[in-house]
Structure 1
Amino acid sequence: MKKLLTLLAGSTLAFYMQGCSDNATSADDDTPLSKGSVYVYTSEWTAKSGELRWIDEDGKLSKKSVEFYQDSKIVGVDGNLFVLEGSGTDNLILVDPSTNEKKWEKSLEDLANPKDVVKANKDEVWVALEGVSNFIKVAVKDGKIVKTVKTDGFEVKKGQSPHLVDFETRNDTLFGLFQRYTSTPSDDGYSKMDYSTPGLLAMYKLEDGSLLDTVQLVKNNPQVMGFAKGKLYVGSVGDYATADMYGIEVVDLAKKKSSAVVDGKSLGGGVYAMAFDSKDGLAYVAVYEGWGKITLAEVDLNEKKVKAIKGVSNITGSLAYDEADGVLYIGNDDAVYTYEDDKLNKVESAVKDVLPPYNITIVR
């Protein structure tokens, strides 16, 4: 019951802003990539549950589906598919991609709200928890929690989570992205959000989670990060309205400083989601211009140029870029689209009345 009550404290905007980007293919190295399987989680606020689907060999969204909690995220890691059931349920689930059946389910602490999964080693993964002041290492074999790392030192207001929302890895380092906003309950049942504190990047030892260092970000309420051409970029949405608070920044890890690459005015809105073509130094950005209008832009991170991509207008279902074949998968509010060689194409569904795309991942 405690988990269900947490939903009452969140706003509709909080649910709407759950779009995120797949980071399963964000490694920026020279290892040849095999073709992956594309999974799509479909859901909406009014649905009782969401549905896990996949793109079949015929290029259509699958007829078959598997139900999970409506507010869930899917993440592909090292050939595995994880389902992260959000606040109100707070579960971590491993799905076998060969059968699309559940292998195990691990109940997490109340309010955990898992947000991301990355590989720790061949047997374990790190799981980012947004709603509590810690993150965990989990055994892939059975879901057992083998280590917990506290993050309460990054809290802005004592007792409120620092909101860890994204992980990246590079060599022996684990990168954690903290939003660090605070909230105050109000009489109408919603919460008043304060995004005035800039985001924070923390670096940990990949193996044991020991804190190495931190970098103060220049933008507020970061949503996603990723590597392109060896550099780490962070996209922020700020308070959804103030241009100075959002945009894309690059982190100089050697100097422990971050600086803006594309400001909010040039971008035209906040970064709702972002996927990277790491080889060519491009970022595909779902730009939050306002409620019901999340457009798509291609950003040349080196030249700092922004190009609008027409044909999709409300990308509430995340972005995923497949480095293996150069295809961008787009979760617009009506369907999944692909973008390749400057061409936008709609992915047809094998059945009618499919729920809108909520997030997308690639498993390989």
Structure 2
Amino acid sequence: MSRKILPLILTAGLTAFFAACDDSSSAASVECLDDNCLDSSSSVEEEISSSSEKENKSSSSVKDEKSSSSEKSDKSSSSVKEDKSSSSTKDEKSSSSVKDEKSSSSEKSDKSSSSVKEDKSSSSSEDVSSSSDAPESSSSVKYLSTTPNLADLEVSGDTLFAVFQRLNGYSADQVGLLALYNRSTGELLDTISLATSTPMKIQIANGEVYVCTQGAYDAAYSLPADENRGIEKVNLSKKTSSLYVSGTKLGGGVNDFVINQKTGKAYAVVTSTYGNSPVVEIDLSSKATKKIESIKNAPYSMAYDSKNGLVYFADNYIDYTTYKMHIGVFSYDGTTLTSISDNDPEEEGRPPYNIQVLDGVPYVFVSDYSTGKLYIHYADSESEGVSYYQDSKLAVANGKLYLMERDLANGTLAEINTSTGKPNWQYSIGKGNAYDVVPADAGNLWIALYNVPEIRKVTTSGKVVTDGAINTEKFSRHE
């Protein structure tokens, strides 16, 4: 069953739409995050303590996994497949510069880097080694999972950040893991154990690294408002992560969040039960929280507009007193919530699935889990969308808009023409379930794959870089 679709099944049914290391030649280089650099003088030994692992055995993962091929409908003929090469791809988060305010990937500036030794993390139950010669599948290593469930990527300066959920099937019985790599080469620099389970997204702002976690489901398939989930803050110097704003204060687990770099406010999609995912504003300095009352259900549908200092939210829920659907996309400047459509949101009829912003323009992919369309003029209620596979995700990297069709059997990556919404090129990436795309350098991209232990490298024209992948198998659960 799809992990992306799993947490939203009930809502989908009710709404009829969706609820939905050791480097022998040289030391690795990691940039400074503000004045907080990785300590180049200390040995990078990270213990992933079993006492910090959450053992909510009844829980299931909520991060969006591709639905099985039997659940997939045929892709629309308007989705252009040019060269069906078996290239792999990734969806990109609007990558941010860690010291300065978040901007598009083309605006990243290099920061001075510090040299550190690569990390070797260990646990009483398993070894998580940072060495380049990671344990391979053999009779000496028994893998309990086939993938470490890479959930999100982010870049800053010369560093690539990756967060792994490390699930036991659908059960979040271990804490998540943050890994740091050299952005251009893919060399592993460090690993840091998270404090809670099922990390969903990583964000970097003003020299600080934050990770939101959903935590484990309880027996009723709810995400309780407790201390086992929330937003963590990572200390790269001490190689630790701790709960910064807990689920107790937020009201549940966090499925998605973005940070307005200009105001220092974070916006989190907080889920407690199916179909109930409001947006909570968080002051990252004071930790004060405030619910955005008008947004009732916004799972996985938020984006930050660095050009205009806006945050975009989607809303998609049913009012069970009137049985009216509330569907729309809104911009928020910290004070005023504004519909970006010229139509009544309640009559919009275009259920938002995910949003990305490029050069101040919001692009919206809509889906009802049977069909999907990309709108390059969502604000115009009369505009026509371009059809793509129902489970597709948008990403921005190196100043370009990308779309991943995430069919488990045959996914694709496309560079989108922002004037027409159609592909400039589109290639098959095969199996893997692409979760995120971020820039490696001016000519290459990193693609996060959820269902296989790999961060794949492709050119900005969609071609796989031979021998360019990062093998993440060693982070899979094993004995």
Match of 1:266 among 341, 344, 348: 348
2:404 aligns to what?
330
1:23 aligns with 2:94: yes
1:289 aligns to what?
368
Deviation at residue 234 of structure 1 after TM alignment: 0.5
Cα root mean square deviation, aligned: 4.0
2:246 aligns to what?
150
Larger Rg: 2
Q: Secondary structure at the match of 2:389?
A: coil
How many Å separate the matches in 2 of 1:346 and 1:11?
A: 33
List aligned pairs for 1:77-92, cutoff 5 A.
77-86=156-165, 87=167, 88=172, 89=174, 90-92=176-178
Q: How many residues align?
A: 298
Q: Which has the higher contact order (CA 8 A, sep 6+)?
A: 2
Match of 2:432 among 323, 344, 355: 355
Q: Secondary structure at the match of 1:222?
A: coil
How many Å separate the matches in 1 of 2:385 and 2:61?
A: 30
Match of 1:120 among 205, 223, 239: 205
How many Å separate the matches in 2 of 1:100 and 1:339?
A: 26
List aligned pairs for 1:206-285, cutoff 5 A.
208=285, 210-211=287-288, 213-228=290-305, 229-238=308-317, 244-254=325-335, 257-262=336-341, 263=345, 265-269=347-351, 271-279=352-360, 281=361, 283-285=362-364
How many Å separate the matches in 2 of 1:178 and 1:266?
A: 22
2:260 aligns to what?
169
- Letter of the 1:170 counterpart: Q
Task: Give CA-to-partner distance per residue, 1:120-158, whole Å, 9 cap, x none.
Answer: 333x31222222443221134563226723341232xxx
Task: Give CA-to-partner distance per residue, 1:179-238, whole Å, 9 cap, x none.
Answer: 3332xxxxxxxxxx3x2x461231313xx4532644323331332322343332102444
1:73 aligns to what?
152
8 Å Cα contact 1:177-1:222 kept in structure 2: no
Q: Secondary structure at the match of 1:299?
A: coil
1:299 aligns with 2:377: yes
How many Å separate the matches in 1 of 2:249 and 2:434?
A: 36
8 Å Cα contact 1:21-1:275 kept in structure 2: no
Deviation at residue 277 of structure 1 after TM alignment: 1.9
Q: Secondary structure at the match of 1:10?
A: coil
8 Å Cα contact 1:180-1:221 kept in structure 2: no
Compared with structure 1, are the counterparts of its residues 147 and 355 closer, same or farther at alpha carbon in structure 2 (3 Å cutoff)? closer
How many Å separate the matches in 2 of 1:20 and 1:217?
A: 29
2:391 aligns to what?
315
Q: Secondary structure at the match of 2:303?
A: strand
How many Å separate the matches in 2 of 1:211 and 1:307?
A: 41
Compared with structure 1, are the counterparts of its residues 345 and 69 closer, same or farther at alpha carbon in structure 2 (3 Å cutoff)? farther
8 Å Cα contact 2:277-2:296 kept in structure 1: yes
8 Å Cα contact 1:216-1:258 kept in structure 2: no
Structure 2: gaps of 5 or more residues: 1-49, 68-89, 111-145, 216-227, 442-479
Matched-pair identity in %: 14
Q: Secondary structure at the match of 1:153?
A: helix
Q: Secondary structure at the match of 2:348?
A: helix
Q: Secondary structure at the match of 1:253?
A: coil
How many Å separate the matches in 2 of 1:348 and 1:339?
A: 12
How many Å separate the matches in 1 of 2:62 and 2:103?
A: 39
Q: Secondary structure at the match of 1:220?
A: coil
Compared with structure 1, are the counterparts of its residues 9 and 32 closer, same or farther at alpha carbon in structure 2 (3 Å cutoff)? closer
1:59 aligns to what?
none
How many Å separate the matches in 2 of 1:250 and 1:203?
A: 17
- Letter of the 1:137 counterpart: K
- Letter of the 1:168 counterpart: I
More strand by share: 1
Q: Secondary structure at the match of 1:219?
A: coil
List aligned pairs for 1:169-188, cutoff 5 A.
169-182=260-273
Question: When the two structures are superposed, what TM-score results if normalisation uses the length of structure 1?
Answer: 0.66
Compared with structure 1, are the counterparts of its residues 150 and 354 closer, same or farther at alpha carbon in structure 2 (3 Å cutoff)? closer
